Chains A and B, each alone.
Chain A
Amino acid sequence: LAKTTQPISMDSYEGQEVNITCSHNNIATNDYITWYQQFPSQGPRFIIQGYKTKVTNEVASLFIPADRKSSTLSLPRVSLSDTAVYYCLVGEDGGFKTIFGAGTRLFVKA
């Protein structure tokens, strides 16, 4: 099973860069790595998805090493509104069994 492991929680300050690493040792050859953000009482929201190397969009970057056994979500210059739970997801069963794991609780302080 492509189980993911993330830190339970992280603290940061406004304006800092935050890097959250996810371990997925048993990732299958064809699986994507996807990150989601969840605020209280809301459904998760897509942040970024990648397969290998580096992916960047308007809100984050995703770094994936060559062996793909881990990935790092990078949030540049976080603000108070980035306080949320962040989930790393690796799909199983051809990428369709979407297992979320426990997530990382990020707390951004002023």
Chain B
Amino acid sequence: NAGVTQTPKFQVLKTGQSMTLQCAQDMNHEYMSWYRQDPGMGLRLIHYSVGAGITDQGEVPNGYNVSRSTTEDFPLRLLSAAPSQTSVYFCASSYVGERGTGELFFGEGSRLTVL
């Protein structure tokens, strides 16, 4: 099992460019989520999904779009990159329990720099 796979691991963008961070999981998890982590800070939830076709906003959704067309994939799109979006992005997945998520499995992260 690969677990949660994120691509690319590193990316440099210019202000105004768009790009997609890919996230795939092979554990058949219903729940997937995206976080950003700025230096020295905790993780902040961007968007999450509890199943194919269902997405919802987290704490910091502005400037990001997501879609969930399959159980396996949950791409994160930056519409028009800004320097404030320079961060490390983590994707996670989990099964759905009776009280929410179970153990979250994280990818290795994608380090994004916006110039």
Give the B-binding residues of A (Cβ under 8 A).
Answer: 30-32, 34, 36, 41-46, 49, 51, 85, 87, 91, 93-103
Contacts and interface: CB of A to CB of B under 8 A. Distances in A.
A94 B50 CA distance: 11
B73 interface: no
Nearest to A89: B104
Contacts of A36: 104
A76 B93 CA distance: 28
Contacts of B105: 46
Contacts of A91: 99-101
B100 A87 contact: no
Nearest to A43: B106
Interface stretch (B12-20, B41-49, B63-71, B79-87): B41-49
B90 A96 contact: no
B43 A41 contact: no
A46 B3 CA distance: 14
A101 B92 CA distance: 16
B100 A44 contact: no
Nearest to B41: A102
Nearest to A90: B100
B48 A98 contact: yes
A102 B93 CA distance: 21
Contacts of B107: 43
Residue among A34, A51, A85 with the most chain B CB within 10 A? A34
13 contacts: A30-B99, A41-B109, A42-B109, A43-B107, A45-B106, A46-B103, A93-B56, A96-B48, A96-B96, A96-B100, A98-B48, A98-B100, A99-B45
A98 B99 contact: no
Contact of B50 (A31, A32, A41, A96): A96
Given A43-B90, A100-B43, A94 B108 contact: no
B108 A42 contact: yes
B101 A43 contact: no
Given A31-B99, A32-B100, A94-B100, A100 B42 contact: yes
A96 B56 contact: yes
Contact of B58 (A41, A97, A102): A97
